[in-house]
Amino acid sequence: DAGVIQSPRHEVTEMGQEVTLRCKPISGHDYLFWYRQTMMRGLELLIYFNNNVPIDDSGMPEDRFSAKMPNASFSTLKIQPSEPRDSAVYFCASSFRDPPRNTQYFGPGTRLTVL
C-alpha cells in the first residue's frame, strides 16, 4: 500500500485566500484524522471521521476551518479565509478498527505558509 497520501506537500498563499488540503487514507481504514502541528502548540487534533461521518470536530479552531469526507478514499480540509496564524504543518492520519490498539498511520503532511 502507498500509505496515507496528502497533497499538496507545500502550499504558500496570501492572507484571505482559500486553501484546500487533500488526503487519501489507506484503503480499508475507516477512521480518518486531521492534525495541525506548530512549534508553539505542538500536535493538535482538529477533527476525525468514522466511516466518512465527522465524529468530533471540537478541535477545529474557527468557522474558517471546514472538513469533509465525501467517500472512504478522500477527505479535504478547507480554510477560508486563511490567516498568517494558520501557518503550520497539517497531517492526515488513518486507522482501522482494531481495538484497542488502533494504530494511526500518518501522511507526510502539508506545510502551509500564509503570508
Residues found near other proteins in the complex (CB under 8 A): 4, 31, 42-43, 45, 48, 50, 55-56, 91, 93, 95, 99-109
Task: Name the residue nearer to other proteins (CB basis): 7 or 80.
Answer: 7
Q: How far is the CB of 109 from other proteins (least distance, A)?
A: 5
Task: Name the residue nearer to other proteins (CB basis): 57 or 81.
Answer: 57
Q: Which residues contact 68 (CB under 8 A, 6 or more apart)?
A: 75, 76, 78
Question: In this structure, are residues 8 and 2 in contact, taking their beta carbons and an 8 Å threshold?
Answer: no
Q: What cell was used for 49?
A: 471521521
Rounded distance between C-alpha atoms, residue 51 and residue 112, angstroms: 27
Q: How far is the CB of 16 from other proteins (least distance, A)?
A: 28
Task: Name the residue nearer to other proteins (CB basis): 15 or 43.
Answer: 43
Q: How far is the CB of 108 from other proteins (least distance, A)?
A: 5
Question: In this structure, are residues 114 and 87 in contact, taking their beta carbons and an 8 Å threshold?
Answer: yes
